[in-house]
Amino acid sequence: MKIISIANFKGGVGKTTTAINLAAGLKNRGKKVLLVDVDPQANLTQSVGLTGEVDNAIYSVLHKEAMGEKTDLTDARVRASGLDLIPASLDLASAELELASVYGREHILSQLLAPLKGYDFVLIDCPPSMGMLTINALVASDYVLIPLQAEFLPLKGARSFLKHMDLIRKLNKKIQLLGFVLTKYDDRKKMNRQIKREIESEFSRDKVFRTTIRINIALANAQENGTDIFTYEATSNGALDYTDLTTEFLARMNPIIKRR
Ligand X SMILES: Nc1ncnc2c1ncn2[C@@H]1O[C@H](COP(=O)(O)OP(=O)(O)OP(=O)(O)O)[C@@H](O)[C@H]1O
Q: How far is residue 147 from each of residues 35, 98, 144, measured CA to CA in Å?
A: 17, 29, 10
- Spatial contact of 18 and 181, defined as CB atoms under 8 Å apart: yes
Q: Tell which positions 9-28 bind ligand X, by CB under 6 A.
A: 11-17
Helix (H) or strand (E) holding 3: strand 2-6
Which residue is at the shortest CB distance from Mg ion? 16
Contact call for residue 15 and Mg ion (CB under 5 A): yes
Distance of CA 55 to CAs 27, 47, 89, Å?
26, 17, 8
SS (H, E, C) 64-99: HHHCCCCCCHHHHCEEECCEEEECCCHHHHHHHHHH
Instruction: Give least dist CB 241 to Mg ion, A.
Output: 18
256 touches ligand X by CB under 6 A: no
Indicate which single residue of 5, 8, 16, 89 sits in contact with Mg ion (rule: CB under 5 A): 16
Q: Return the residues of window 31-70 that contact Mg ion according to CB under 5 A.
A: 43
Contact between 215 and ligand X by CB under 6 A: the answer reads yes
Residue 8 near residue 130, CB atoms below 8 Å: no
CB 220 to ligand X: min, Å? 3
Whole-angstrom CA distances from 42 to 91, 146, 197 are 10, 19, 34
**CA 125 to each of CA 22, 193, 205, 217: distance values in angstroms, whole numbers, following the listed order:** 11, 27, 24, 21
Our CB check for ligand X shows the closer of 26 and 219 to be: 219
Identify which of residues 10 and 15 has a Cβ nearer to Mg ion in the complex.
15
* Positions 182 through 201 that interact with ligand X (CB under 6 A): 183-184
Residue 223 near which of Mg ion, ligand X, none (CB within 5-8 Å, type-dependent): ligand X
Which of Mg ion, ligand X, none is residue 220 near (CB under 5 to 8 Å by kind)? Answer: ligand X
Q: In the stretch 37-76, what mask flags binding to ligand X with x, by CB under 6 A?
A: --x-x-x---------------------------------
Query: Based on the number of CB atoms within 10 Å of its own CB, is 7 exposed (0-12), middle (13-18) or buried (19 or more)?
Result: buried
Q: Which helix (H) or strand (E) holds 149?
A: strand 143-149
- Select 74 or 129, whichever has its Cβ closest to ligand X: 129
Compare residues 78 and 215 and give the one whose CB is closer to ligand X.
215
| DSSP β-bridge partners for residue 147 | 181
Number of other residues whose CB lies within 10 A of the CB of residue 220 = 12
Near ligand X by CB under 6 A: residue from 1, 2, 128, 252: 128
Distance CA 44, CA 15 (A): 9
Would you count residue 219 as binding ligand X (CB under 6 A)?
yes
CB-wise, 20 or 66, nearer to ligand X? 20
Question: Pattern 155-184, binding to ligand X, x per CB under 6 A?
Answer: ----------------------------xx
Q: Which residues bind ligand X (CB under 6 A)?
A: 11-17, 39, 41, 43, 128, 183-184, 213, 215-217, 219-220, 223
